[in-house]
Amino acid sequence: LSSRRPLSLSLSCRGEGEPNEGRGGGAKGEPGEERKASVVCLLGRRLAMKGVKGARRCGGGMRGRRAEGGRSRSRSSGVVALFSSGGRLRQRTTTLRPSSRPAAQATTKAVAEAGESSTTATRRAFPFTRVVQQEDMKLGLLLNVIDQRIGGLLVMGDRGTGKSVVVRAVIDLLPEIEMVVGDSFNSSPTDPRLMSKEVREAVQRGEEVKTRKAKTPLVELPLGATEDRVCGTLDVESALQSGSKAFSPGLLGKANRGILYIDEVNLLDDSLVDVVLDAAAGGVNTVEREGISITHPASFIMIGTGNPEEGELRPQLLDRFGLYVEISTVADPDLRLQLALNRTAYDMNPDAFYESAAEEQEALRAKLLGAKKLVKDVKVGKDLRVKISTVCSLLDIDGIRGDMVVVRTAKAYAAFDGRTEVTDEDVGRVVGMCLGHRTRKDPLDPLGGVQKVNAVFKRIFADGLTYEDVRKMQEKSAPKSNKEAEEEDQGDEKKGRGGLKPGQWKGL
């Protein structure tokens, strides 16, 4: 007490009928349900200096008398208190009355509900409609929301360009989804592909499953996550308490039917890259570890952001993203000012700033819902499909994933515009995002990925050239090989030294 430190009290509740340690133990019988609580009380400086004298109160009304070297008891509440007095710990133990037990349970429930409500109340995200410029990034996110089969979005750009802000803002535009109550994998009550094994078996038996409405989940994968936390592993708590094997879902299970966001994706550990790729490709996650064998749905939209200055992505991961967008810092002074004003207003009062954009947000949300329903009816002509495959072939795109992504993205863009027929303009708007990161990098080619894609697209769609015509043009403009260059140099040298002996100087 000479240091005037706050006193620390540790309290634990006992159920009715539990034996009480020490003198004056509780009634004999079977132990009741154990309830645990931990409370830390910080007393003021004045109380610390005076000590605990006479009748005292702690928590719900424990009363007792101070006794040197002994214990004081009361039966008004079920607590065990440790007091610091004179440099020594003193214990006060009481038993719980049957009449006070419901009140204690009600108090515990109220405290738990208050804690849960305080943790769930988070600040509103920045309004999606108030993001200035970055049109390609916003369009890529919206198209993935319309059709999840596109395969996600990869955004690479300078730091401070709002990549993470836009990704978190798109969640407010997504509609609520119906989930099965008590399921850890966000199982759908109607789609068997998005059901866990337990829910699927219950539906097959004809049992009625309870459902609830919830927001589309957004799960962030941190760089420091372990493979067990991503895939899921053995539930240690259940194994220690009941001795049974139970599965604790990882981030992939929680991201089912939602968005998996990976910030600084180019710095992600290689082992986690392989795990995420397997789940993203098949839509399921298989776990084989610690005697557990389980397969659960893991269908999600994979969104990755990164700074190209910090490193490049592995080719395997780069190809798995459906769309690729490069963004840069806004250069227009007026737009930069608008960005700064919007961010300042949001930081000062997030709720008021969000309400100012509520009408725009609701209009965009309704447009997205209509596009999600309309995308199934959008048609793509055969001639258009042939041209898309021709562009992919001329760009030497490996596999047919690029062809399929272009078709799906063009359909989503047409549905977002309220049409049921894909046009050449729809393909031209999205072909750069779909194929720019799939082209082979050639250090001798002055054109980048997106510029090269747009050039080939113009040859096929605008100029009306055939595959053979464009291929001949590419062969003529292709850089010469080392052997051809050496032969050409030797020919020029022989032609220029006509009539001269070997080693004779030709002159200037």
Helix (H) or strand (E) holding 181: none
Helix (H) or strand (E) holding 292: strand 292-297
Q: Roughly what angle, to the nearest 10 degrees, separates helices 358-374 and 401-416?
A: 130
Structure tokens at 315: 């080719």
Annotated catalytic residue within 289, 401, 419, 429: 401
Whether 229 is catalytic is no
Spatial contact of 9 and 82, defined as CB atoms under 8 Å apart: yes
Greatest pairwise CA separation for the chain in angstroms? 125
Strand pairing report for 323-327 and 153-157: parallel
Distance, CA of 95 to CA of 17 (rounded, Å): 9
The dihedral formed by the CA atoms of 495, 500, 501 and 505, expressed in degrees to the nearest 10: -100
**Residues found in the chain:** 508
Distance, CA of 322 to CA of 306 (rounded, Å): 16
Of 94, 82, 103, 88, the C-alpha closest to 38 is: 82
Strand pairing report for 258-263 and 300-306: parallel
Spatial contact of 253 and 232, defined as CB atoms under 8 Å apart: yes
Strand pairing report for 292-297 and 218-220: unpaired
Q: Roughly what angle, to the nearest 10 degrees, separates helices 424-435 and 449-457?
A: 150
Distance, CA of 389 to CA of 392 (rounded, Å): 5
Task: Give the residue numbers marked as catalytic.
Answer: 401
